[in-house]
Chain A
Amino acid sequence: MVDLKQLAYERKNIMAFLFIASFLKGAAMIGQALFFVWIADGVFLKNASFEEVLPYLYGLFGAILLRVACGYAIGRSGVNLAAEVKMDLRKKLIASFASNPLQASIQGQSGQKVSLLLDAVDELDGYFSKYIPQMVQSYIIPILLLAVIFSQHWVTGVIILITAPFIPVFMALVGIKTKEKADQQMEKLGQFSGTFLDVLQGLTTLKLFNQADRQKQTIQKSSLDFRDATMEVLKSAFLSSLMLEYISMLSMGIIALEIGLRLVVFDSLTFFTAFFVMILVPDFFNMLKDFGSAFHTGKGSTAAANRLSAHLEKETPAVEWGAGTLSNDPPHLLLQDLTFQYGESFKLGPINTEILPYSQFAIIGKSGSGKTTLLHAIAGLLPLSSGAVRVNGISREQIDEKSWFDQLSYISQSPYLFAGTIKENIAIGAGREAADDEIWEAAAKAGIGEMVGSLKHGLDTQIGEAGRGLSGGEKQRIALARAFLKQPSIVLFDEPTTGLDLQTEKILQQSIAELGKQATVITVAHRLHTIKQSDAILILSEGQLAAAGSHNDLLETYAPYGVMLEIQHGGIVQ
């Protein structure tokens, strides 16, 4: 639970400072009122000359200066407090994004998560920069003022004591309703950002399907919904300040009447006391009013804090790691009763198989049969439901994460190109600084060297978002080059040659074969000719192991394999 108040009190120095500054500010306010009254009383009733009141004017100036200085210091501390808490929370959020397991990372909308990081955290600002300083001030200043008022004219004090408690009661009443509405509003804001990013990404698709207009209406609707949700929150905030205003006005009216009565009828009060009290009372209520509006800002922050808590506390099964290390030699891999299930849906396994060091291992099967899932499980991206991946006899869970990934290259089915240069995008595979000629070599092995060479800026061409566009096959080859840069001992390829012509595919086959001299290569493929030479081929069907063996074994023992091969060679466009 993100407890905002606690976050504030954790920063003791700032809080202590706030208390001291508030005390001084209260004193300055009293001083200011006092000087005001002395001067007015002096020239109005006591017929003092201007020279006589001049010292009071200096005093007044001093009081004003002190008041403003304290206000400035309080405001500055509030800003500091807010900035620190926000930076802290953002750090936590980023850490939680980073430590997410893969499965959790694809849940929800990215836009919503970005909105959490930006909007929800910013929403907390008001709590620390406005509410907390105001709260501290309203602990101290009203009490100071009240004490002075009591000392001057106790009846006024009593009237305030009777009327003021209505304020927190009203605020609490309105506040409870606000909270609900603020929660709704926060949720709507998150939804809005989430949808928006999704729409942006799919704008071309939407246009092609003539949905751009409808989308416009959706945006309008969700934006008006958001307006209404916000107005609901604001309305109650406004209502509560109306109530505050009304109560304070009522109270001031009674006080004025009482003072007037004494002044006019009983003559039992001096102008000095009356005027003094009349200046202090509005100050008193202004403090409460300020607190009231800060209170509402604070309530809005609480809704945002809840959204943050919900995210930070979400439990997801994580992939476990240990401390063992791997050598540079390809390990012996053994899948023992490996199973994995996506929530309640698709179930993979149990799968038992052995992958020998330096072997070429292939996984084939119909689309949706679980090939990618199996690669993810082997790579340690998904937590197994049961069973184990044994690496040189020990469970993968006992191996150090870094050591494991240092030995592994995985080119996934839809690799992501980052906004940056081609060089950066290839070098990311090595996880270290790479020299240009190494990168050129990797690019050549992936069959993209020539194309990159023909570009004006060569390796320094910007690609990815906000960069030069590439053809489908070119993107694929840039990603493939990542694998050739590193010297891993296990390589996982998920359909490496999708979208490539046969000529390019041939180049790649050679490079992959070369890679296989120092590594175990596990390939998922639809184009069966690319994996014919494999030492072992695994056939998956609806998540189950249907058959395994070499190309020739399978031809003999597993009839569907022959059919698959035939269809592929006989052509599919029929």
Chain B
Amino acid sequence: MTELKQTLLLTLREKRDVALAIFFGFLAGIAGAALMASSGYLISKAALTSQMTILIVMGACLKLFGLVSALSRYAERLFSHRATFTMLSNLRVSFFEKLSPLAPGIFQKYRSGDLLARIVGDVENLQNFLLRVFYPPVVLAIVFISTIFFTSYFSFAIAMVVLVGMLLTIVAVPAIFAWRQRRIDSAVRASRAELSTEATEFLYGFRDLKIYQQLDRKKQDLTTFSERYGEQQRKEGFEENLGQSVNAFVALLASFFVLGLGAYFVAEGQLDGLYLAMLVMISLAVFENVAPMAVFPAHFEENRKAAARLDQVVSEPVQAAGDAELPLNTLDIKLENVSYTYPEEERQAIEGVSLRLAPGSKTAIVGPSGSGKSTLLQLLLNILPADSGTISIGGEPLAALDPEKLWQRMNVVLQENHFFFGTIRSNLLIANEAATDEEMEAALAKVQLGPFSLSSKVNEKGENLSGGEKQRLAIARAILRGESLWLLDEPVSSVDSVTAKAIYRQLFERGKDDTFVIISHDLTGLEQMDQIIVMERGRIVEAGPYEEIMEKQGHFFKLKQIEKSIFA
């Protein structure tokens, strides 16, 4: 039950709706029973006497109880469903809130289709919490207890039969089925997540699957997963149906005993026959209400699992974040003896790196693929936390800063950038909500995307843009940011040299006094940079201005030699 604590708290936040739902649920149940009881009583009475008043009372009672019952049922449904859906929305938001600090590391633990299944499917599943788990037993218990009080006035034994029936239908049978459920472990949610995960990857990797002719095989896999999910659902359906039937049987059995016992007492003269029909009618009516309890076990178990699965995702340790603000002046960046190892790796990805990025300086980071360039950038961005050593920006240690405030002051282009389904405009506005159309068009022109209109459609992941266009759109986003610190990770690797040159010229012209950090595999034109950093295996093996490190005839010199031989 601890798994459901959070859900329960969120549900109870809708106090008013929940209370109203319970109240009207009770009213509807009780009025329904009263309606049946009065009709049973009045028929019996009418069979004995011939007073007109009986008829009048009968008509009035039937009308009153019927109306109350129908209206209450309506109100109950309205309030309970509203509370549920508000709760769901709160749940989604609170889940997202917890999920957001976990990016990007979370994707090394979970596949996106799995997360999708959790956040849509599992959350959706919890909508049953109030409707089918939490409040039916509560309402039923109140209705039953009132009924038992009422019947005990006529016959204690019959009241006991109702009590036993109640304990069976709302406690014992659901408990047994909940236990069974747990034992057979109908893994509906899990197989659903599996299907969602596979389907998502199928769609994402579609092109490569097609090229490698793996579509058929993957289709088979997917069909297998879908069938597994279908079978699990079927199993769940059977179980639910069995529960329903057992419950209905017990409920009818209770009425059967009420009648049998009542008949016995009447025959023995211990009960006035006048009340027999009424008691039977009451028991038929109240036990009609227990139908929802049949689905309780399945929902309870599923809810428990869903809540646990959701919790599992967001219970990852979150990197502690500071809340200090950045100083307003230009930012001086210092790294001292910084090391970093990826979780579960043995080798350090960054090893004892010290470095200074003076305000207004232009730095290029070069080095073989896999040498730690992007990792270094992510440390600077505080996306990854350094294991040891210190990074400071404008004199403030990075760890003490509010990451949001930090990012606000940078124009970043990562090695891989995401584009959202929407338009060019919506993808640019992400960088700067206040940007006007003119500003956005100017930014597009700077990256040679002039011919694109702001309202051009962008498909998911920018799939309808060329490789170079995506990179240029990412640069346009950074331009719109308009800050003076640029961190660019291979920003033009897929852009032809003519276009790339034009873009760089734009950037440097505009940002003469800005600080630039550029990761690149292109060794040409680095003469202009204030500082070149050569990385290898996570270390800085050389650093300094072009002339200086060329003179050393070390690593950079060798790289330049290779370049020369290639260009020749």
Check if A and B associate.
yes
The 5 closest A-B pairs by CB, nearest first: A571-B525, A473-B369, A367-B468, A571-B524, A79-B237
Would you call A472 and B342 a contact (CB within 8 A)? no
- Interface residue B412 (Cβ < 8 Å from any Cβ of A): yes
When distances are taken between beta carbons in the complex, the residues of chain A under 8 Å from B415 are 472, 499
Shortest CB distance B502–A (Å): 9
The one of B115, B497, B562 that contacts A572, using a Cβ cutoff of 8 Å: B497
Would you call A472 and B374 a contact (CB within 8 A)? yes
Per the bound structure, the CA–CA distance linking A55 and B288 in Å amounts to: 26
Which residue in chain A gives the minimum CB-CB distance to B466?
Answer: A368
Shortest CB distance A71–B (Å): 6
Shortest CB distance A380–B (Å): 10
- Interface residue B485 (Cβ < 8 Å from any Cβ of A): no
Per the bound structure, the CA–CA distance linking A83 and B58 in Å amounts to: 48
Would you call A428 and B214 a contact (CB within 8 A)? yes
The stretch of B168-176, B267-275, B350-358 in contact with A is: B267-275
Per the bound structure, the CA–CA distance linking A195 and B460 in Å amounts to: 10
Would you call A569 and B524 a contact (CB within 8 A)? yes
Which residue in chain B gives the minimum CB-CB distance to A49?
Answer: B267
- Interface residue A87 (Cβ < 8 Å from any Cβ of B): yes
Given known pairs A94-B226, A219-B96, A574-B505, the reply for A466 and B111 (CB within 8 Å) is yes
Given known pairs A215-B96, A503-B562, A574-B505, the reply for A208 and B381 (CB within 8 Å) is yes
Given known pairs A40-B263, A196-B116, the reply for A431 and B214 (CB within 8 Å) is yes
Which residues 237-274 in B have Cβ within 8 Å of A in the complex? 237-238, 240-242, 244-245, 248-249, 252-253, 256, 259-260, 262-264, 266-268, 273-274
Per the bound structure, the CA–CA distance linking A49 and B404 in Å amounts to: 85
Given known pairs A109-B460, A220-B93, A573-B364, the reply for A64 and B249 (CB within 8 Å) is yes
Given contacts A75-B244, A503-B562, A574-B504, 17 further A-B contacts (CB under 8 A): A68-B245, A79-B237, A86-B230, A97-B219, A197-B116, A199-B420, A200-B116, A241-B74, A264-B55, A365-B496, A381-B210, A416-B208, A472-B374, A473-B369, A500-B521, A567-B498, A568-B524
Which residue in chain B gives the minimum CB-CB distance to A524?
Answer: B467
- Interface residue B142 (Cβ < 8 Å from any Cβ of A): no
Given known pairs A216-B97, A367-B467, A526-B494, the reply for A227 and B421 (CB within 8 Å) is no
- Interface residue A5 (Cβ < 8 Å from any Cβ of B): no
Q: For the side of the interface on B, what is the size category?
A: 35 or more
Which residues 472-492 in A have Cβ within 8 Å of B in the complex? 472-474, 476-477, 482
Given known pairs A40-B280, A242-B73, A418-B201, the reply for A209 and B230 (CB within 8 Å) is no
The one of A87, A106, A238 that contacts B460, using a Cβ cutoff of 8 Å: A106
Would you call B528 and A256 a contact (CB within 8 A)? no
Shortest CB distance A541–B (Å): 11
Shortest CB distance B186–A (Å): 13
- Interface residue B119 (Cβ < 8 Å from any Cβ of A): yes
The one of B71, B222, B431, B496 that contacts A564, using a Cβ cutoff of 8 Å: B496
- Interface residue B13 (Cβ < 8 Å from any Cβ of A): no
Would you call B43 and A260 a contact (CB within 8 A)? yes
Which residue in chain B gives the minimum CB-CB distance to A83?
Answer: B234
Per the bound structure, the CA–CA distance linking A94 and B209 in Å amounts to: 14
When distances are taken between beta carbons in the complex, the residues of chain B under 8 Å from A117 are 195, 199, 226
Would you call A495 and B237 a contact (CB within 8 A)? no
Shortest CB distance A343–B (Å): 9
- Interface residue A555 (Cβ < 8 Å from any Cβ of B): no
Would you call A212 and B100 a contact (CB within 8 A)? yes
Per the bound structure, the CA–CA distance linking A36 and B81 in Å amounts to: 37
Per the bound structure, the CA–CA distance linking A528 and B373 in Å amounts to: 25
Binary interface profile of A, 212-251, with partner B (CB < 8 Å = 1, else 0)?
Answer: 1011100110011011001100110011011001100110
Shortest CB distance A552–B (Å): 15
When distances are taken between beta carbons in the complex, the residues of chain A under 8 Å from B383 are 204
Shortest CB distance B360–A (Å): 16
- Interface residue B178 (Cβ < 8 Å from any Cβ of A): no
Given known pairs A198-B421, A242-B70, the reply for A75 and B110 (CB within 8 Å) is no
The stretch of B101-109, B143-151, B332-340 in contact with A is: B101-109
Would you call A86 and B111 a contact (CB within 8 A)? no
Which residues 19-49 in B have Cβ within 8 Å of A in the complex? 35-36, 39-40, 42-44, 46-47, 49
Would you call A429 and B267 a contact (CB within 8 A)? no
Which residue in chain A gives the minimum CB-CB distance to B104?
Answer: A204
Per the bound structure, the CA–CA distance linking A467 and B110 in Å amounts to: 8
Which residue in chain A gives the minimum CB-CB distance to B53?
Answer: A264
Per the bound structure, the CA–CA distance linking A371 and B276 in Å amounts to: 88
The one of A105, A219, A465, A573 that contacts B529, using a Cβ cutoff of 8 Å: A573
When distances are taken between beta carbons in the complex, the residues of chain A under 8 Å from B388 are none
Would you call A36 and B259 a contact (CB within 8 A)? yes
Binary interface profile of B, 401-439, with partner A (CB < 8 Å = 1, else 0)?
Answer: 001100110001011111111000000001101000000
Of the listed residues B96, B262, B505, the one surrounded by the most CB atoms of chain A closer than 10 A to its CB is B96
The one of A42, A76, A220, A366 that contacts B496, using a Cβ cutoff of 8 Å: A366
Per the bound structure, the CA–CA distance linking A56 and B527 in Å amounts to: 106
Shortest CB distance A524–B (Å): 10
The stretch of B61-69, B132-140, B153-161, B322-330 in contact with A is: B61-69
When distances are taken between beta carbons in the complex, the residues of chain A under 8 Å from B481 are 209
Would you call B111 and A498 a contact (CB within 8 A)? no
Would you call A282 and B369 a contact (CB within 8 A)? no
Can you list 5 residue pairs at the A/B interface with Cβ under 8 Å? A192-B120, A245-B70, A245-B73, A264-B46, A501-B521
The one of B227, B414, B418, B525 that contacts A87, using a Cβ cutoff of 8 Å: B227
Would you call A501 and B367 a contact (CB within 8 A)? yes
The one of B55, B192, B204, B472 that contacts A118, using a Cβ cutoff of 8 Å: B192
When distances are taken between beta carbons in the complex, the residues of chain B under 8 Å from A86 are 230, 233
Which residues 186-212 in A have Cβ within 8 Å of B in the complex? 192-212
Given known pairs A196-B116, A209-B431, the reply for A79 and B524 (CB within 8 Å) is no
Given known pairs A210-B408, A227-B85, A568-B497, the reply for A472 and B42 (CB within 8 Å) is no
Shortest CB distance A38–B (Å): 10
Shortest CB distance B519–A (Å): 10
Would you call A223 and B89 a contact (CB within 8 A)? yes
Which residue in chain A gives the minimum CB-CB distance to B525?
Answer: A571
Binary interface profile of A, 527-541, with partner B (CB < 8 Å = 1, else 0)?
Answer: 011000000000000
- Interface residue B121 (Cβ < 8 Å from any Cβ of A): yes
Which residues 278-329 in B have Cβ within 8 Å of A in the complex? 280, 284, 288
Would you call B89 and A227 a contact (CB within 8 A)? yes
Per the bound structure, the CA–CA distance linking A372 and B207 in Å amounts to: 13
When distances are taken between beta carbons in the complex, the residues of chain B under 8 Å from A87 are 226-227, 230
Given known pairs A53-B263, A114-B199, A418-B205, the reply for A210 and B245 (CB within 8 Å) is no
Which residue in chain B gives the minimum CB-CB distance to A52?
Answer: B267
Per the bound structure, the CA–CA distance linking A109 and B59 in Å amounts to: 59
Would you call A573 and B522 a contact (CB within 8 A)? yes
Would you call A106 and B495 a contact (CB within 8 A)? no
Shortest CB distance A507–B (Å): 11
Per the bound structure, the CA–CA distance linking A193 and B381 in Å amounts to: 30
Would you call B43 and A197 a contact (CB within 8 A)? no
Given known pairs A111-B116, A567-B498, the reply for A257 and B73 (CB within 8 Å) is no
The one of B59, B237, B241, B497 that contacts A253, using a Cβ cutoff of 8 Å: B59
Would you call B521 and A502 a contact (CB within 8 A)? yes
When distances are taken between beta carbons in the complex, the residues of chain A under 8 Å from B85 are 226-227, 230-231
Which residues 374-421 in A have Cβ within 8 Å of B in the complex? 379, 381, 402, 405-406, 408, 410, 412-416, 418-419
The stretch of A171-179, A270-278, A303-311 in contact with B is: A270-278
When distances are taken between beta carbons in the complex, the residues of chain B under 8 Å from A498 are 467, 493-494
Per the bound structure, the CA–CA distance linking A78 and B259 in Å amounts to: 32
- Interface residue A50 (Cβ < 8 Å from any Cβ of B): yes
